[in-house]
């Protein structure tokens, strides 16, 4: 399960980590709410895995070709 919280100038997408993993929750920060909502949609498209969505977003920010990741259809 993931949710959005606003913290000052950031919109953070939080999600719970598996039991026994510290920290108990993790997040990805965005400047605007629309980007946070797009991240949630991407997470859903990737089977609900926020870590896969995080990796996809970070590869895209680095200028990698998304089709090279096998996720170009998202």
pLDDT per residue, tens digit, the chain (74 aa), is 899 999 999 999 999 988 888 889 999 999 999 999 999 999 999 999 999 999 998 887 776 555 554 544 44
11, part of any domain: yes
**Centroid of chain to Cα 40:** 6
Nearest to 59 by CA among 71, 73, 46: 71
Domain that holds residue 30: 2-69
Q: What are the φ and ψ backbone dihedral angles of 66, each rounded to 5 degrees?
A: -60, -30
46, part of any domain: yes
Residue 62, pLDDT score: 73
Residue 64, pLDDT score: 56
Residue 40, pLDDT score: 95
Burial class (CB in 10 A: 0-12, 13-18, 19+), 33: exposed
- What is the gyration radius of the CA atoms in the chain, in angstroms? 13
Residue 21, pLDDT score: 85
45, part of any domain: yes
């Amino acid at each position: 399960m993931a949710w959005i919280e606003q913290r000052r100038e950031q919109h953070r997408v939080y999600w719970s980590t598996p039991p026994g993993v510290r920290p108990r929750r993790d997040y990805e920060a965005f400047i605007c709410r629309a980007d946070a909502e797009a991240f949630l949609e991407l997470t859903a498209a990737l089977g609900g895995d926020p870590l896969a969505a995080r990796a996809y977003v970070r590869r895209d920010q680095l200028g990698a070709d998304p089709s090279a990741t096998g996720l170009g259809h998202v």
